[in-house]
Amino acid sequence: MKARIKFSKSGAMKYVGHLDIMRYFQKVIRRSGIPIKYSEGFNPHQIMSFAAPLGVGLTSSGEYMDIELTQEVPCKTILEAISNEMVEEMDIESVKYLPEKATNAMASVEASTYTLTYKHPEDFPFSLDELKEKKVAFYDNATSINVVKKTKKGEREVDLKPLIYEFDIVSGENVADFDDTLETRPEIVFEINISTGSNDNIKPEFALYHFFKSFGIETQERASFFIHRVDMLTRDEDGNLISLDNVGYEL
Amino acid sequence: MKKLALSDDILMEIDKPARYLGNEMNVVMKDPSQVDIRFAMCFPDVYEIGMSHLGIQILYEMLNRRDDVYCERVYSPWPDLHEIMVRDNIPLFALESQDELKKFDFIGITLQYEMCYTNILQILDLSQIPIWAKDRRNDDPIIIGGGPCTYNPEPIADFFDIFYIGEGEVSYDRLLDLYKEMHNQKNYSRDEFLHEASKLPGIYVPKMYTVSYKEDGTIESFEPIYEDVPATVKRQVLMDLDQGAYPTKPIVPFMRATQDRVVLEIQRGCIRGCRFCQAGMVYRPNREKSLDVLKGYAKEMLASTGHEEISLSSLSSSDYTQLPELVNFLIDDCCKNGVNISLPSLRIDAFSLDVMSKVQDIKKSSLTFAPEAGSQRMRNVINKGLTKDDILNGAGQAFEGGWNKVKLYFMLGLPTETEEDMMAIPELANDIAVRYYEIPKDQRNGKCQITMSTSFFVPKPFTPFQWAPMYEKGEYLRRAKIVNDTMHAQLNHKSLRYNWHEADVTVLEGLLARGDRKVSAAIYEAYKSGCIFDAWSDYFHCEKWDEAMEKTGISLDFYAYRQRDLDEILPWDFIDIGVTKNFMKREWNRAVNEQVITQNCRAQCSGCGAKSFGGGICYEGKN
């Protein structure tokens, strides 16, 4: 049977890359003693898969890992066993069982929600109202946002409009979930819900780069913004975006 | 969030920021304000290398068992971060607390190889601590060195306040108690502490000794400056290994460290007595850990780390008396859920082949032999008991068991080496290939692949070869060419491969290994001209070292190429490792004049002097 584990990553742990996080979890699971299933063959490995990898330097409260178990254990027991083995600034948020036919986390990710804040607020002397106004022109009133995206195969033109599902700019007072590397609460937070996964993977800093470019400001993408993933989403039977966490059930 | 010494901008700019975070699984966190002594344990190389070192993990565990001490770790910042720290004037910090090193009480630096010496200066410099010991004041940390290179600490003596000679388990408590006591009585002065410390067993304080030189540059005298400071420093040895601290909850790095596995130290010392090998002399007598203790550690460490591999650590695992019991236990009780056993260089025989076939994929793995020399004559000189028959029989059994890859390790430039000895290296490899092709074609596994590697011999202190001369770079390469040309002229050359080591770094290693106090000026000069990470070929700048030696009057002729006189006072003579200088002289004579083997410790005692420690193999089966 398959279980889905939701975890968060914050603080210093954001500098630990995806491959190292995978190795870390293999060891965590081994230490926890939960009955994970191993592959056959000369070098058996744990059956474990991750949703969309998080880049180095990003924090998240919604990361996912699916594992296969050899026997049923209550969700709460798994949660406690794994939590006991975690380092600081990595936490298990939930453990749920997946329906038999559920697609794995990696294949089912359709979108991610992010909050972005300035790394160096002094470089961006724009008021919230000003930014909101620019956003209406860039996003709300636009029928298409054509930009050039660099891929491994070369450059291609994409329309960002249908790939950005939500785009808001809000006061930091109203947001709880963001990268807290800066000790002061951010004044301005960019909230983005954007296409993620193997088909149309758009990075949130890429969208913000084009937003700022639309009124003549050059940003350095990852060097300009703290980026925090709030959650990862998939589509339900009706095509609505729901959290990956809502696919499973507690046991 | 957890405090970090480096800003987000810097962590995002550098390669592999995970090197500098701390926060790994099993890290020890203490409140620094609640301890008396803050100790930073340093491996002067990059994180992935340093984290693979067992010795530091043992000391980390041992020191942190004391409630009044907080021991943290520090490694060399990689050149990309080095540049930024210099540019932005950022002081070097310890991983756990991320606090500046210059506020610590002690910085312990492990000295595992000579080519890390400029990295020691980097650590001190980035920590904003005076590089020369004489310039340090009362509130600067005490800089203490330990590890194999302390068996000749003289080239770096002027950078250190203290060297700890021997195994850390024995004298650290007394040293720390002394420090704490002097601080509590509010009468601490650096000089007085160092003076008192120099009277403790195994503690060498360089500034308590003065050296004078003869006109030819050799040592005239080496003496303590005070009457109450001992003239020799006795190496400290833990006789009952079962009683020592062991890291049963070792730190598990996020990054893949070089040694990404559970390491089980099964014994210390070696019974073999190879005449080139420093470890074989300076860790005598051979002492084993008991099987029950090791079984317990294995289970506990696999459970506490989640590692998927376990490895044995010792100088010669095949000589561990209970090896079959231990290996069978690991296979039966630990090899579940994909846990692998990695076997260190075992002697190839029926037992090891049987074990290897159980734990490795034969098609992918290779057999390793370390004959060290190609001819039997040369192997007698170096006291390597392995014979050609041993190698051919072992390889033959392995080939019949399905293996087809063999690795062979040799040294070039050994004392008395002739062209015939050099040519014997590829001839031995060719004979192994011939043995493979004797197997009928339908019963063998395609072609065989025999890989020879040669390093150039570096004479080390406290070995019977400590007096031997080295050769110039060109001569080493000429010898490698003889091996290579001979190989290419052989029938089976298509099944043979040959790699050889860099020659310039070898000569420098030889200089640093047997240098005296005068050499420190050249190391300082090399560091000032930009040398760090000399052990990494991409960062090794031979020309900068040549300039540094020229500028400071340090000559390879004197330190590397010279045949030393048997009666000369050597820079390391003040250290008493337990094995006597007379034994070394006897062995030197047996090597180069008589060319005979000396029996291993288990077969017959050779009277080396290590019996004075009162235990280990010297007394095995004699009670």
Task: Identify all chain B residues contacting A18, using CB atoms and an 8 Å cutoff.
Answer: none
SS3 B280: helix
**Cα separation, B547 vs B557, whole angstroms:** 15
Residues A5, A82 contacting (CB under 8 angstroms): yes
| B23–A223 CB contact, under 8 Å | no
Evaluate if residue B522 carries a pLDDT over 90.
yes
Phi and psi, residue B58, nearest 5°: -65, -45
How many helices (H) and strands (E) chain A has is answered by 5, 11
Give A1-60 pLDDT, tens digit per residue: 999 999 999 999 999 999 999 999 999 999 999 999 999 877 789 999 999 999 999 999
| A16–B18 CB contact, under 8 Å | yes
Residue B70, strand partner residues: B38
CATH number, position B79: 3.40.50.280
Evaluate if residue A245 carries a pLDDT over 80.
yes
Task: Identify all chain B residues contacting A20, using CB atoms and an 8 Å cutoff.
Answer: 18, 254-256
SS3 B292: helix
CA angle B250, B252, B257 (to 5 degrees): 115
Interaxial angle between packed helices B172-184 and B190-197, expressed in degrees from 0 to 180 and rounded to the nearest 10: 150
Evaluate if residue B623 carries a pLDDT over 70.
no
Establish if A74 touches chain B: CB-CB under 8 angstroms: no
Task: Identify all chain A residues contacting B361, using CB atoms and an 8 Å cutoff.
Answer: 42-43
Q: Place B392 in a pLDDT band, splitting at 50, 70 and 90.
A: very high
Residue among A11, A38, A119 whose CB faces B2 most closely: A11
Q: Place B357 in a pLDDT band, splitting at 50, 70 and 90.
A: confident
- A194-198 long-range contacts, Cβ below 8 Å, gap at least 24? A194/A111, A194/A112, A194/A113, A194/A114, A194/A163, A194/A164, A194/A165, A195/A110, A195/A111, A195/A163, A195/A164, A195/A165, A196/A52, A196/A109, A196/A110, A196/A111, A196/A112, A196/A232, A196/A233, A197/A52, A197/A109, A197/A110, A197/A111, A198/A107
Give B281-309 pLDDT, tens digit per residue: 999 999 999 999 999 999 999 999 999 99
**Torsional class of B322: left (φ above 0), alpha (ψ -120 to 50), beta (otherwise):** alpha
Q: Domain residues for B157?
A: 8-234
Evaluate if residue B110 carries a pLDDT over 80.
yes
Evaluate if residue A209 carries a pLDDT over 60.
yes
Q: Which two tokens stand for residue B68?
A: 């009044």
Per-residue DSSP letter, B537: G
**Cα separation, A165 vs A146, whole angstroms:** 15
Q: Place B619 in a pLDDT band, splitting at 50, 70 and 90.
A: very high
Evaluate if residue A158 carries a pLDDT over 80.
yes
Q: Closest approach of chain B CAs to the CA of A243, in angstroms?
A: 26
Residues B182, B188 contacting (CB under 8 angstroms): yes
What average pLDDT does range B145-162 have in this prediction? 98
Give the Å distances, CA to CA, from B192 to B196, B359, B365, B555. 6, 56, 57, 36
**Cα separation, B474 vs B476, whole angstroms:** 5
CA angle B377, B382, B388 (to 5 degrees): 50
Domains held by chain B: number: 1
Domain borders along chain A are 2-106, 111-243
B605 assigned to some structural domain: no
* Fold of the CATH domain A2-106: Alpha-Beta Plaits (3.30.70)
Give A69-124 pLDDT, tens digit per residue: 999 999 999 999 999 999 999 999 999 999 988 898 999 999 999 999 999 999 99
Q: What is the DSSP string of B555-590?
A: -HHHHTSPPPPTTSBPTTTTEE-SS-HHHHHHHHHI
Evaluate if residue B362 carries a pLDDT over 80.
no
Looking at per-residue pLDDT, the higher value among A8 and A156 belongs to A8
What pLDDT, on a 0 to 100 scale, did the predictor assign at position B365? 77
Looking at per-residue pLDDT, the higher value among B277 and A44 belongs to B277
Per-residue DSSP letter, B552: H
Place of tokens 């020592």: B244
Q: Which of B157, B244, B241 is nearest to B575 (CA)?
A: B157
CB atoms within 10 A of CB B144: 24
ipTM field: 0.94
What pLDDT, on a 0 to 100 scale, did the predictor assign at position A43? 77
Q: Place B622 in a pLDDT band, splitting at 50, 70 and 90.
A: low
What average pLDDT does range B207-220 have in this prediction? 97
Q: Which residues contact B82 (CB under 8 A, 6 or more apart)?
A: B76, B122, B126, B532
Task: Identify all chain A residues contacting B18, using CB atoms and an 8 Å cutoff.
Answer: 15-17, 20
| A27–B307 CB contact, under 8 Å | yes
What average pLDDT does range B13-35 have in this prediction? 96
Q: Place A198 in a pLDDT band, splitting at 50, 70 and 90.
A: confident
Burial of B233 from C-beta contacts in 10 A (0-12 / 13-18 / 19+): buried
**Cα separation, B160 vs B482, whole angstroms:** 43
What pLDDT, on a 0 to 100 scale, did the predictor assign at position B251? 97
B51 assigned to some structural domain: yes
Average pLDDT, chain A: 93
